[in-house]
């Protein structure tokens, strides 16, 4: 168990926000009883409830230190991969490759992160898996759509495993303050990225008029985008004390991860539209699948990890 006053404050603040959200949702459900609001309220209640579950699980895993967090993200990758591959057209010839992806490469990637072996966890997937998995596939001898199928498996691994694993990789950074220092940096990233998602949704529902990309993601509006990203950046700035950044640096980092998160949502939506589905799954009530919830984190984490490590000399 990790005890650190600042870490306690961060988790406490998140729980505080969630308490307020629960109260507001309850008040709304009392006020908006008309039939036309039913779907919105039902969805809101489900979302808030799911947030409680997600934050309790995430908070508990962060407090157990590195091992708990690495295991949690390994499980998330596994489920994300499951959702991704289910929607992608793979064939019988890919079965052996899929076995490698699910049962060997995913656990191995997280083992190297747990082991803090930077030289290995940064290249396992982009180099070793990149070269060896297509070779395994070629050995099966099924050549139809070979490049497309290979692209699918590579993309699945990069998105669902490599990029997502860069979030717990933050715990391997050399931040002052023992294990609590890196944990606070991870929490900073997750709060800003997920906060940005929630705030974009909220601003969009309140003021949204002008759609950004109606074909890809009909719910994204300019009002939601600007309001959500501005307010999430403010939250990030206000959390500078928990990071190695000064307030200006915290603001810049927060802005960058918000923008990356937005792009992540957009890219993953394009994949969903292409496959003709609204969500990747049904695991989290009100949110869709695991992948729907972590799509922004997937795009934000690797950039954040790299910028923090490189520009702030945290290697």
Partner 1 sequence: MNGFIGAAIAQLARIVSGATIRMPDSGLQKGQAVFFANHTSHLDFVTLWAAIPPSRRTRTRPIAAKDYWDKPGVRHYLINDIFRAILVDRQGGTLRSLREQLDQMTSALDAGDSLIIFPEGTRGEGDTIAPFQAGLHALHRHCPDAHMIPVRLINLNRVLPKGEFIPVPLLSTIVIGEPLPTEEGESRNAFLKRAQHALIELGDQA
Selected range binding partner 1 among 51-59, 67-75, 86-94, 157-165, rule: CB under 8 A: 86-94
Window 100-119: contact mask with partner 1 (x via CB under 8 A): --xx----------------
DSSP assignments along 34-101, one per residue: SGGGHHHHHHHHHHHHHHHHHHHHHHHHHHT-HHHHHHHHHHHHHHHHHHHHHHS---GGGHHHHHHI
Instruction: Confirm or reject binding of residue 95 to partner 1 (CB under 8 A).
Output: yes
Alpha-carbon separation of residue 109 from 65, 112, 118, 156, 183 (angstroms): 18, 5, 11, 14, 19
Rounded least distance, CB 289 to partner 1, Å: 9
Instruction: Confirm or reject binding of residue 25 to partner 1 (CB under 8 A).
Output: no
Distance in angstroms (rounded) separating the CA atoms of residues 120 and 125: 9
Q: How many residues bind partner 1 (CB under 8 A)?
A: 14
Residues 272 and 280: beta-carbon distance below 8 Å = yes
Options 38, 210, 282, 306; binder of partner 1; rule CB under 8 A: 282
In terms of Cβ atoms closer than 10 Å to its own Cβ (0-12, 13-18, 19+), residue 48 is middle
Selected range binding partner 1 among 3-11, 19-27, 61-69, 92-100, rule: CB under 8 A: 92-100
Q: 84: closest CA among 309, 250, 274, 244? A: 274
Instruction: Confirm or reject binding of residue 175 to partner 1 (CB under 8 A).
Output: no
Instruction: Confirm or reject binding of residue 285 to partner 1 (CB under 8 A).
Output: no
> Based on CB atoms, which residue is closest to partner 1, 80 or 170?
80
Instruction: Confirm or reject binding of residue 90 to partner 1 (CB under 8 A).
Output: yes
Instruction: Confirm or reject binding of residue 98 to partner 1 (CB under 8 A).
Output: yes
Options 51, 83, 159, 189; binder of partner 1; rule CB under 8 A: 83
Residues 104 and 112: beta-carbon distance below 8 Å = no
Q: List residues binding partner 1 (CB under 8 A).
A: 78, 82-83, 85-86, 90, 92, 95, 98-99, 102-103, 281-282
């Amino acid at each position: 168990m990790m005890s650190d006053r600042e870490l306690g404050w961060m988790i406490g603040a998140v729980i505080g926000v969630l308490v307020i959200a629960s109260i507001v949702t309850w008040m709304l459900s009392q006020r908006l009883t008309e039939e036309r609001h039913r779907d919105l309220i039902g969805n809101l209640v489900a979302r808030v409830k799911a947030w409680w579950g997600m934050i309790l699980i995430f908070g508990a895993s962060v407090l157990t230190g590195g091992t708990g967090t690495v295991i949690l993200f390994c499980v998330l990758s596994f489920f994300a991969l499951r959702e991704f591959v289910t929607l992608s057209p793979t064939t019988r010839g890919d079965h052996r490759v899929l076995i490698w992806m699910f049962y060997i490469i995913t656990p191995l990637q997280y083992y190297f992160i747990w082991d803090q072996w930077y030289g290995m966890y940064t290249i396992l997937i982009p180099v070793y898996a990149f070269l060896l998995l297509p070779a395994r596939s070629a050995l099966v001898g099924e050549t139809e759509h070979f490049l497309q199928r290979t692209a699918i498996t590579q993309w699945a691994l990069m998105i669902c495993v490599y990029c997502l694993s860069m979030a717990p990789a933050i715990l391997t950074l050399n931040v002052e303050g023992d294990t609590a220092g890196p944990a606070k940096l991870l929490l900073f990233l997750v709060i800003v990225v997920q906060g940005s998602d929630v705030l974009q949704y909220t601003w969009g529902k309140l003021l949204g008029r002008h759609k950004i990309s109606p074909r890809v993601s009909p719910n994204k509006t300019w009002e939601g985008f600007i309001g959500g990203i501005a307010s999430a950046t403010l939250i990030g700035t206000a959390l500078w004390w928990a990071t190695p950044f000064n307030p200006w640096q915290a603001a810049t980092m927060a802005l960058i991860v918000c923008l990356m998160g937005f792009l992540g949502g957009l890219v993953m939506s394009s994949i969903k539209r292409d496959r003709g589905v609204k969500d990747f799954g049904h695991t989290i009530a009100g949110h869709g699948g695991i992948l729907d919830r972590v799509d922004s984190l997937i795009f934000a984490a690797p950039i954040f990890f790299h910028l923090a490590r490189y520009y702030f000399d945290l290697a």
